[in-house]
Each structure stands twice: as structure tokens, then as C-alpha cells.
Amino acid sequence: MKLLQERIVRDGNVKSGNVLKVDNFLNHQMDIELFNEIGKEFKRIFSDLKITKILTIEASGIGIACITAQYFKVPVVFAKKAQSINIDGEVYSTKIESFTHKKTYDVIVSKKFISPEDKVLIIDDFLANGCALAGLIDLVRSASASVEGIGIVIEKGFQNGGEMIRSMGVRLESLAIIESMNAENGSIIFRDE
Ligand code: 5GP
């Protein structure tokens, strides 16, 4: 998605440790006009799918998922991070290791909000090592629902998450795939360039 690539180049900040900071338009301040274009693009890419629910994870995925849901006209469910949980049978739970915070979270979704008939589109802001996505897929499968597709705003193609998730046979589409980036000179190269 050209508009997104241009925005990443203009406002993205390459940090050490393979972190791309995009808090000017995606992760802290949010550019809703851009989000709107992103939502429209996800709808175009996944227009062949019959989706009943969008699933994301708090916090950064929520804004993108909500705008995207307006195009699919389905509810958004966000998985909640909890430091520790009592598994009381009311929730599906999984563990996710956070790439940016280097911490492991229990992540939960209430059983009320995903059911076996659901056809789920997973939406998230970033894909790095794929831990967050693997956890979300696990939650959907625990509910015996199906993962119809995954939409990612920015995939860091030089990390192994994309390959891992695609090798599971899940349809994964990323609007911008970064082939390489350099913290020293700030350069960002996209896969299709
Ligand atoms: P993964 O589980 O794929 O390793 O990491 C995915 C999650 O980590 C995303 O939901 C995102 O919140 C965060 N993340 C991973 N890499 C980056 C990055 O380079 N920049 C930012 N801002 N967040 C990232």
C-alpha cells in the first residue's frame, strides 16, 4: 500500500533492536484518515471472505480493528492481556511473549464472544516474530471457530513471524512488508521495491 509506505518513510523512526517507531500515526497518535484507507484496503483484499468477527489484541490493534470493522460491518473483539489469571472456565486463554516489552502475558477472550460458527479475521498493527498472532490463532481454534484471514499493517519481513504463520496454511496479508531497515542511517527498504 503506497500511501502507507510513504508515511512509514516520512514519519517512521528506526530504533536499535529491530524496532520501528510509528507512534506519530499508528501506535500513540492515530491518523484516522490513514486508518480509514487501511480499513478500506483490508476490505478490498478480503472481499471474498464471509467474516463474522474481527479479533485483535490490546492495545495498538484496537483502533485499526475498529475502523476496519466498519467496512465489514461486524463486531470487534479484543484479546485482553492479564498478568496472571484464574482459569475459571469462562475464558479462552493463551500465552504471548511481547516483542517490544520482552514479557510473557496471559491473554484471554471471554467464551461469550467467540463461538464455533464464527469466521474470524485477525487484525494487528505489527508482525515481528509472530508470537502475538500464534496466540490469537490459538484462541480462535480453542473456540472451534475458524481463522479466515489475517490482516497486518506492518510486517517486518526480516523477522520470522511471516514465514511461521504462512507455513501454518493461514492466509496472511500485510499492507507494508519491510525487507530491511537500518538504525544507523534510518533507511527503510520495502519488499516490493
Ligand atoms: P510478534 O508477536 O509478532 O513478535 O510482535 C507483534 C507485536 O509486537 C505487535 O502487536 C506490536 O505491538 C509489537 N511490535 C513488534 N515489533 C514492533 C516494532 O518494530 N514496532 C512497534 N511499534 N511495535 C512492534
- Three-class secondary structure assignment of the chain: CHHHHHHHHHHCEEECCCEEECCCCCCCCCCHHHHHHHHHHHHHHCCCCCCCEEEEECCHHHHHHHHHHHHHCCCEEEEEEECCCCCCCCEEEEEEECCCCCCEEEEEEEHHHCCCCCEEEEEEEEECCCHHHHHHHHHHHHCCCEEEEEEEEEEECCCCHHHHHHCCCCCEEEEEEEEEECCCCCCEEECCC
The hierarchical CATH code for the domain 2-190 is 3.40.50.2020
Quote the pLDDT of residue 97. Answer: 86
Closest atom of ligand 1 relative to the 131 alpha carbon: 2
Q: Phi then psi for 163, rounded to 5 degrees?
A: -65, -40
Decide whether any atom of ligand 1 lies within 6 Å of the 128 Cβ: yes
- Residue 77 Cβ inside 6 Å of ligand 1? The answer reads no
Q: What is the pLDDT of residue 89?
A: 74
C-alpha of residue 128 to centroid of ligand 1, in Å: 6
Is 28 within 8 Å of 63 (Cβ atoms)?
no
Q: Provide the pLDDT confidence category of residue 86 given band limits of 50, 70 and 90.
A: low
Q: Are strands 76-82 and 104-110 parallel, antiparallel or unpaired?
A: antiparallel
* Cβ neighbours for 118, distance < 8 A, ≥ 6 positions apart: 52, 53, 140, 143, 145, 146
Contacts of residue 29, defined as CB under 8 A and 6 or more positions apart, other chains included, come to 23
> pLDDT digit string (tens) for 2-50?
999 999 999 999 999 999 999 999 999 999 999 999 999 999 999 999 9
Nearest atom in ligand 1 to 135's CA: 2
Pocket test for ligand 1, best of 25, 30, 57, 99 (most atoms within 8 A of CB): 99
Binding-site residue ranges for 5-phospho-alpha-D-ribose 1-diphosphate:
128-132
**Amino acid at the residue 53:** K
Q: List, edge to edge, every strand of the sheet that includes 76-82.
A: 91-97, 104-110, 76-82, 53-57, 119-127, 146-156, 172-181, 188-190
pLDDT in tens, 40-55: 999 999 999 999 999 9
